[in-house]
Amino acid sequence: MNGDRDALKQQVKEANDIVGVVGSYISLRPKGPTFMGLCPFHEDSRPSFDVDPRRQRYRCWACGKHGDVFNFVQEHEKVSFPEALELLARRAGISLENFQKNPPGPSRTGMLDVMKWAAEQFQSCLLDSPQAEVARDYLGERKLSLETIRNFGLGYAPESWEWLVANAANAQKPADLLETVGLIAKRNEGRGYYDRFRDRVMFPIRDLQGRIVGFGGRILPSSSLSDRGPKYYNSSETPLFSKSDQLYGIDQARQAASKAGYLAVVEGYTDVLMAHQHGVSQVVATMGTALNARHIKKLRGIVSRVVLVFDADAGGKGGVDRALEVFVKSDLDLRIATLPEGLDPCDLIAGQGPEPFRLALEEAIDVFEYKLQAAWAKHAAGGLEGRRLAAEEMLGVLALTPDERSVKLELMVNRIAQRLLIKEETVWSRLKELRKKNEPGPRMNAAIPGDAALEEPLPERSAPAAPHERELVELLLAEPALIARSVIEIPFAEVEHPGLRHVIETLYRLHALGQTTDLDHLREPLNNERLWDRLFDFQLRGLDYPDRPDVFQKVLARFRERRLLRRKQALKNQLQEAADPETKSQLMRQYRDLENSEAKMRGDTDGAA
């Protein structure tokens, strides 16, 4: 049997040419008898990744990574050897049925299979089901053709809470596997499962190899659920999907990007679809997140130039500053294209054809120059003070970058000095001062509320939340009207779980500012995608409560009980330390009063129950 397995491994290896496999992840160019590209395993600034088709091996001459096609897939996909073997066998159309052992937990290929199956269910529903008529009308209004809908695999998830759950049961797809990939979730108290996507147009999200790893769902404008969740909702973080890593349309844009010499990054799924529909196919979109280092690493393996697309009124409101930070830190030609105010790419192309959009991409300018022009235009009328303010605005962004004097940074500082007529030494000096101000200071007392507490990064792992703390978040997300009372009754500092405390504090602040406290408005102030992803599930659980005001009363009672327990413990500690009889007597009276309050509270709670 071992000989058979070895023969099978050799068969799979021979069927997967290493140049073809590696080339499906990064761009390779021939160089003599081998192929070269940017190494995907470290921050490579010049092609140092060598793929040898004769030996069927790869080696990075900078970081030292090397191996065969199995090693590459294991490293890049972060999977075990059996999973790499399975992925490559599938790629070559080789069956492993007689050799496959069942490893603990879902395999990557099993997860990919169920995602493909779900996409087929959603698309079949969109194309054929009477339930999807409104979804078809919506896509027609967006002027998306049937060919585009089919090419990108668009679908529809009906409003029913258990449509996909029932389909999976009929198809004998394990519910726990669908839960693992983020398609369904458990109901409260283990009462079965519910669909996470409902009454939404479904956009399958594919990786570079064209495999479906997640979904984006757009709530229909006419949906009765439109006020219960965000307009766009992506898959939660799963072993297959992280929205801070994926780019929508990357599999279909890759070839066009190689020909055009750049990739354009837009903000919405329909922007990508409309661009591709009209022949501008070097276009992708982020998953509602800003461009980050993980995106850059993926993009640099394909192209050396990236064009970010903003409309005229959005370019100066944070997006360009974040792009400039990425630009300074990376070895990438990053440019900005602006569209007419109020028009996104989809509307522009649908209304005026592809040429205005194509022209905007071709005329994009580098992000530093764009920011410098915008800063100078804003402050030009201010004379000397205007120059100082423009310099401060530019340096404020550069000060957030690593404290190193790279060639790119030298060129930018030189350009600021020349454009604003300031001595270069003065610019360097001010940059040094701003960087010093940005250095982290002593940790603030967590009990003192303030803006810094909102920005404090959450720990990657923490102990499970107490049930009543989780229920509080579920209730406030499901019924924001309860926040007004919660602010009075439950100080956010009493919430012990750091992630939930962060959510509660943010909700309280939005409420105090008179702002909307729905999920869409939580994304930016929370600034934590992993946490935000979980809140949609929390909201659904809250909506599942039959009597939310009654549950809220019980949650309040639990917080009061915990508060009393803490005060009793504090009094016990004081009693042990007290030496004066009069002090002890006062403390005993206070302790008995707390016990009476606790008994009354218990009676009230029992009566309410």
Please give the Cα distance from 87 to 94 (Å, whole number). Answer: 10
Q: Which CATH architecture has domain 243-363?
A: 3-Layer(aba) Sandwich (3.40)
* pLDDT > 80? residue 207: yes
Beta bridge partners of 216: 203, 234
pLDDT band at 460 (very low <50, low <70, confident <90, very high): very low
In angstroms and rounded to an integer, the radius of gyration of the C-alpha atoms of the chain is 28
Under DSSP, the state recorded for 188 is G
* pLDDT > 50? residue 449: no
Task: Identify the helix (H) or strand (E) that includes residue 37.
Answer: strand 34-37
Please give the Cα distance from 298 to 26 (Å, whole number). Answer: 8
Taking residues 293-322, what's their average pLDDT?
75
Pairing, β 29-31 against β 34-37: antiparallel
pLDDT band at 544 (very low <50, low <70, confident <90, very high): confident
Q: HSE, CB side, 13 Å, CA atoms: give it for residue 562.
A: 15
* pLDDT > 50? residue 101: yes
Please give the Cα distance from 598 to 605 (Å, whole number). Answer: 10
* Straight-line distance from the first to the last Cα atom of the chain, in angstroms, rounded to the nearest whole number: 64
Taking residues 576-603, what's their average pLDDT?
64
- Contact between 182 and 233 under an 8 Å Cβ cutoff? The reply is no
Please give the Cα distance from 18 to 175 (Å, whole number). Answer: 36
Residue-averaged pLDDT of the chain: 82
Top mean-pLDDT range of 66-80, 208-222, 234-248, 490-504: 208-222
Give pLDDT, residue 318.
61
Give pLDDT, residue 117.
97
Among left, alpha and beta (phi > 0; psi -120 to 50; other), residue 52 is beta
* pLDDT > 80? residue 205: yes
pTM beyond 0.85, yes or no = no
Q: Which fold has domain 2-92?
A: DNA Primase; Chain A (3.90.580)
- Residue 84's CB is within 10 A of a number of other CB atoms, namely 21
* pLDDT > 90? residue 300: no
pLDDT one-digit tens code per residue, 382-397 = 888 989 999 988 888 8
Give pLDDT, residue 346.
93
Give pLDDT, residue 123.
97
Taking residues 196-219, what's their average pLDDT?
94
Scan for tokens 């019980």, then name that residue. 554
Q: What is the DSSP string of 146-164?
A: HHHHHHTT-EEE-S-TTHH
- Contact between 342 and 313 under an 8 Å Cβ cutoff? The reply is yes
Give pLDDT, residue 568.
67
Give the residue, 319 or 601, on which the prediction is more confident.
319
Please give the Cα distance from 379 to 389 (Å, whole number). Answer: 7
Taking residues 366-375, what's their average pLDDT?
88
Tokens of 446: 């967590």
- What residues have CB less than 8 Å from 461, skipping those under 6 apart? none
Q: Which CATH architecture has domain 452-457+464-545?
A: Orthogonal Bundle (1.10)
Taking residues 175-198, what's their average pLDDT?
89
Give residue 27's Cα distance to chain centre: 25
- Residue 407's CB is within 10 A of a number of other CB atoms, namely 7
Give pLDDT, residue 316.
44
* pLDDT > 50? residue 293: yes
- Contact between 196 and 182 under an 8 Å Cβ cutoff? The reply is yes
Under DSSP, the state recorded for 213 is E
Task: Identify the helix (H) or strand (E) that includes residue 465.
Answer: none
* pLDDT > 80? residue 328: no
The reply to whether 108-234 and 243-363 are identical in fold is no
Tokens of 216: 């984006």
Top mean-pLDDT range of 216-220, 321-325, 372-376: 216-220
- Which alpha helices (DSSP H) does 42-80 contain, by range? 69-77
Please give the Cα distance from 493 to 447 (Å, whole number). Answer: 6
Give the residue, 476 or 574, on which the prediction is more confident.
476
Least confident range of 3-7, 286-290, 435-439: 3-7
Give residue 63's Cα distance to chain centre: 29
Please give the Cα distance from 182 to 235 (Å, whole number). Answer: 6
- What residues have CB less than 8 Å from 534, skipping those under 6 apart? 236
φ, ψ at 95 (rounded to 5°)? -85, 135
Top mean-pLDDT range of 356-370, 449-463, 568-582: 356-370
Please give the Cα distance from 605 to 561 (Å, whole number). Answer: 11
Domain ranges of the chain: 2-92, 108-234, 243-363, 365-439, 452-457+464-545, 553-608
User: Does CATH place domain 108-234 in 3.40.50.10800?
Assistant: no
Closest CA to 149 of 20, 336, 277, 339: 277
Least confident range of 134-143, 295-304, 399-408, 411-420: 399-408
pLDDT band at 104 (very low <50, low <70, confident <90, very high): low
Scan for tokens 């002593």, then name that residue. 442
Give the residue, 131 or 98, on which the prediction is more confident.
131
* pLDDT > 70? residue 402: no
Give pLDDT, residue 378.
86
Give pLDDT, residue 340.
86
pLDDT one-digit tens code per residue, 551-561 = 999 999 889 88
Taking residues 432-448, what's their average pLDDT?
55
* pLDDT > 60? residue 443: no
User: Would you call 92 exposed, middle or buried from its count of C-beta atoms within 10 A (0-12, 13-18, 19+)?
Assistant: middle
